[in-house]
Amino acid sequence: MSSTLPNSPLTTYVLNTGDGVPGARMALSLHRLDSLLVIWNLVTVGTTDEDGRCPGLITTKAFTPGMYKMRFETGQYWESLGQNSFYPYVEIVFTITNPNERFHLPLLLSRFSYSTYRGS
Amino acid sequence: THVLNTGMGVPGAHMALSLHRMDPSTSLWNLLTTGTTNDDGRCPGLITRETFTPAVYKIRFETGQYWGSLGETSFYPYVEIVFTITDHSQKFHVPLLCSRFSY
Q: What ipTM, to 2 d.p.?
A: 0.94
Beta bridge partners of B58: B20, B82
Which residues of chain A are within 8 Å of residue B78 when distances are taken between CB atoms?
93
Please tell me the predicted confidence (pLDDT) of residue B41: 98
Interface membership of B75 toward A (CB under 8 Å): yes
Please tell me the predicted confidence (pLDDT) of residue A7: 85
Mean pLDDT value of segment B39-44: 97
C-beta atoms of A88 and B79 within 8 A: no
| Whole-Å CA distances, A75 to A30, A85, B83 | 17, 6, 10
Nearest-neighbour CA in chain A from B71: distance (Å):
17
If 0-12 CB within 10 Å is exposed, 13-18 middle and 19+ buried, where does residue A84 land? exposed
Mean pLDDT value of segment B8-31: 97
Among B74, B80, B97, beta carbon nearest to A91:
B80
Q: What CA–CA distance (Å, rounded) separates A20 from A112?
A: 14
DSSP state letters, B41-59: SB------TTT--SEEEEE
pLDDT at residue A2 greater than cutoff 50:
no
pLDDT at residue A1 greater than cutoff 80:
no
Report chain B's terminal Cα–Cα distance, integer Å.
14
Q: What CA–CA distance (Å, rounded) separates B42 from B35?
A: 10
Mean pLDDT value of segment A34-58: 96
The H or E element containing residue A76 is helix A74-80
Please tell me the predicted confidence (pLDDT) of residue A3: 46
The CATH number corresponding to A10-116 among 3.40.50.10490, 3.30.465.10, 3.20.20.480, 2.60.40.180 equals: 2.60.40.180
C-beta atoms of A88 and B56 within 8 A: yes
Q: Any idea where the domains of chain A sit in the sequence?
A: 10-116
B62: nearest CA in chain A?
Answer: A93
Q: What is the pLDDT of residues A85-118, one digit of tens each?
A: 999 999 999 999 999 999 999 999 999 999 999 9
Q: What CA–CA distance (Å, rounded) separates A59 from A70?
A: 15
pLDDT at residue A55 greater than cutoff 60:
yes
Please tell me the predicted confidence (pLDDT) of residue B99: 98
Among A85, A90, A95, beta carbon nearest to B75:
A95
pLDDT at residue B38 greater than cutoff 50:
yes
**Domains of chain B from N-terminus onward:** 2-98 (2.60.40.180)
Which residues of chain A are within 8 Å of residue B102 when distances are taken between CB atoms?
115-118
Residue A97 carries which DSSP code? S
Edge-to-edge order in the sheet of strand B55-61: B29-36, B16-22, B55-61, B79-85
Please tell me the predicted confidence (pLDDT) of residue A6: 60
pLDDT at residue B8 greater than cutoff 50:
yes
Q: What is the pLDDT of residues B42-100, one digit of tens each?
A: 999 999 999 999 999 999 999 999 999 999 999 999 999 999 999 989 999 999 999 99
Contact A93, B80 (CB under 8 A): yes
